[in-house]
Amino acid sequence: MAVRQRQHEQDPMIRRTNFDAVESNLTDEQAKLEAARCLNCKNPRCVQGCPVNINIPAFIHEVKEGNIEKAGEVIRESSLLPSVCGRVCPQERQCEGKCVLGIKSEPIAIGALERYVGDSTSLKVGEIKETGKKVAIIGSGCAGITAAADLRRAGHEVVVFEALHKLGGVLRYGIPPFRLPRKFLDKEIENLKSMGVKFVTNVVVGKSITVKQLKEDGFDAIVIGSGAGLPKMMGIPGENLNGVYSANEFLTRVNLMQANLEETATPIRVGEKVAVIGGGNVAMDAARVAVRVGFKKVYIVYRRTEAELPARLEEIRHAKEEGVVFQFLHAPKEIYNKDGYVAGMQFEIMELGEPDESGRRKPIPTGKTIDLDVDTVVVALGTGPNPTIQASMLRDDMNLTTDKKGYIVIEAETGKTSVDCIYAGGDVAPTGSSTAINAMGAGKRAAAAINAMLAQN
């Protein structure tokens, strides 16, 4: 059995000083060799493992035959952003985790092949027949831009309203460029613009304009894809000190506002030692950005063990290689204060008990504490939905149903909310784990439901 092909990676000691892509793409020869390993299974388990059921054996077959354009068409039937998903999906838990080759050897490098195809092909759009209908999309993240593509292809006028000055949501302000080089995101957004999708930036729906006004302006349907950008904090003493950041703020300052550059209007205070609290992809990104902006010691502090870390395996490996130090079984207790600034942090040592409702073993406090010498703390403990849109709809007596955490309640198959002609999807209305591909799947489902609705009107 041929061995799995690997992408070339920048040396960790060099890449920890730059924001360039960690991995280069498979070469043409490698892609063909990798594609030739696929067994083209009759019952392809990889397809079941993919949240949007990309026809994986079919696109891999096209790569093997050298038909890269055709491979791109096969993938884009199910996923608008192969360059993104090939880089950020947790393949080891999805498609690759199901590949039969993984039982005795290594699974096909489905993610690497997907990005290889995505990077060298573009969305093809035939003639668009205008319907005269108008759809507004709130938010330009994965959910919003996927819905925009499918709605525009069906011939509707599509306007995307985005609160920030740049487009792409988390793909722009959260995931760092060394994981997702911006040229691939820019390419997809340019494609949408050339199809006629209109983008309006610097508009906070719920403040600059309301959903009710959008309806009054004649939009026949609205998709809310406003994400979940409201950080969860720890609720411990010292959390308001200078030097404490939410991961969202920390990453946004660097990714969107270039806080890493010397001349910048939005700097971050680069200290000596930083504790990043959390164990997901966001924590890995914050830690690896902290390495690159010049912190000398970067800790990831997590209250369970390595086995329970929710981040992608590759990100954990990359973080370790880049010198990030992991402290497991530590729960934050207090941040010490010196003249209003972070002056160290106290943690309680935990041990693992029985599995909790998430299936992971629950951390149990031992009563013992330990101090960590840090001058900066980045909190990456998850986020919730920003309440702006929901609150403004409530003020306008639009009966939008939300759950007790403020997420919008939707019909999973269609994205329909409790308000007529208003749909939602992605992190603001999660129907599974909050991942890029799930947000895209939700955008696709909402678009399909709106296309069906508008076809009847």
Coil vs helix vs strand at 82: helix
Q: Where are the alpha helices (DSSP H) in 154-280?
A: 170-173, 182-195, 211-216, 247-255
The CB-of-142 to ligand SF4 minimum distance in angstroms stands at: 24
Q: Of ligand FAD, ligand SF4, none, which one does residue 99 interact with (CB within 5 to 8 Å by kind)?
A: ligand SF4
Query: How many angstroms separate the CA atoms of 188 and 145, rounded?
Result: 9
Query: How many angstroms separate the CA atoms of 32 and 38, rounded?
Result: 10
Task: Identify which of residues 38 and 159 has a Cβ nearer to ligand FAD in the complex.
Answer: 159
Task: Identify which of residues 112 and 400 has a Cβ nearer to ligand SF4 in the complex.
Answer: 112
The CB-of-327 to ligand FAD minimum distance in angstroms stands at: 20
* Helix-strand-coil split of the chain, %, nearest 5: 35, 20, 45
Asked if residue 86 lies in contact with residue 115, where contact means CB atoms within 8 angstroms, the answer is: yes
**What contacts 378, CB < 8 A, 6 or more positions away?**
244, 245, 246, 247, 250, 274, 275, 276, 277, 286, 287, 290
Q: Of ligand SF4, ligand FAD, none, which one does residue 101 interact with (CB within 5 to 8 Å by kind)?
A: ligand SF4
Q: What's the residue count for the chain?
A: 457
The CB-of-285 to ligand FAD minimum distance in angstroms stands at: 4
Q: Of ligand SF4, ligand FAD, none, which one does residue 175 interact with (CB within 5 to 8 Å by kind)?
A: ligand FAD
To the nearest 10 degrees (0 to 180), the angle between helices 142-153 and 436-456 is: 30
Q: For residue 385, which of 227, 252, 233, 234 has the smallest C-alpha distance?
A: 227
Longest dimension (CA), the chain: 68
E-only strand ranges, 71-173: 134-138, 157-161
Task: Identify which of residues 100 and 325 has a Cβ nearer to ligand SF4 in the complex.
Answer: 100
What DSSP element (H or E) covers 30?
A: helix 28-36
Task: Identify which of residues 96 and 150 has a Cβ nearer to ligand SF4 in the complex.
Answer: 96
The CB-of-34 to ligand FAD minimum distance in angstroms stands at: 22
Query: How many angstroms separate the CA atoms of 73 and 317, rounded?
Result: 32
Task: Identify which of residues 57 and 425 has a Cβ nearer to ligand SF4 in the complex.
Answer: 57
The CB-of-161 to ligand FAD minimum distance in angstroms stands at: 5
Cα–chain center distance at 96:
19
Task: Identify which of residues 145 and 350 has a Cβ nearer to ligand FAD in the complex.
Answer: 145
The CB-of-382 to ligand SF4 minimum distance in angstroms stands at: 32
Q: Of ligand SF4, ligand FAD, none, which one does residue 40 interact with (CB within 5 to 8 Å by kind)?
A: ligand SF4
Q: Of ligand FAD, ligand SF4, none, which one does residue 449 interact with (CB within 5 to 8 Å by kind)?
A: none
**Antiparallel, parallel or unpaired: β 157-161 and 198-200:** parallel
Task: Identify which of residues 33 and 100 has a Cβ nearer to ligand SF4 in the complex.
Answer: 100
Binding site residues, ligand SF4, CB under 6 A:
38-41, 44-46, 56-57, 99-101, 107-108, 110
Asked if residue 25 lies in contact with residue 116, where contact means CB atoms within 8 angstroms, the answer is: yes
The CB-of-2 to ligand SF4 minimum distance in angstroms stands at: 12
Cα–chain center distance at 416:
22
Q: Of ligand FAD, ligand SF4, none, which one does residue 282 interact with (CB within 5 to 8 Å by kind)?
A: ligand FAD
Q: Of ligand FAD, ligand SF4, none, which one does residue 88 interact with (CB within 5 to 8 Å by kind)?
A: ligand FAD
The CB-of-234 to ligand FAD minimum distance in angstroms stands at: 18
CA distances from 133 to 120, 171, 183, 422 (A): 33, 29, 32, 15
The CB-of-163 to ligand FAD minimum distance in angstroms stands at: 4
Q: Of ligand SF4, ligand FAD, none, which one does residue 38 interact with (CB within 5 to 8 Å by kind)?
A: ligand SF4
The CB-of-5 to ligand SF4 minimum distance in angstroms stands at: 13
Q: Of ligand FAD, ligand SF4, none, which one does residue 136 interact with (CB within 5 to 8 Å by kind)?
A: none
Q: Of ligand SF4, ligand FAD, none, which one does residue 224 interact with (CB within 5 to 8 Å by kind)?
A: none
The CB-of-412 to ligand FAD minimum distance in angstroms stands at: 15
Phi and psi dihedrals of 88, rounded to 5? -115, -15
Q: Of ligand FAD, ligand SF4, none, which one does residue 138 interact with (CB within 5 to 8 Å by kind)?
A: ligand FAD
Binding site residues, ligand FAD, CB under 6 A:
88-89, 138-144, 161-164, 169-171, 174-175, 203-206, 225-227, 229, 251, 281-282, 285, 312, 386, 388-389, 426-427, 434-437, 439
Phi and psi dihedrals of 110, rounded to 5? -65, -40
Task: Identify which of residues 54 and 439 has a Cβ nearer to ligand SF4 in the complex.
Answer: 54
Query: How many angstroms separate the CA atoms of 313 and 398, rounded?
Result: 43
Amino acid in the structure at residue 315: E
Task: Identify which of residues 111 and 363 has a Cβ nearer to ligand SF4 in the complex.
Answer: 111
Six-digit token string for 29: 């020869």
Amino acid in the structure at residue 222: I
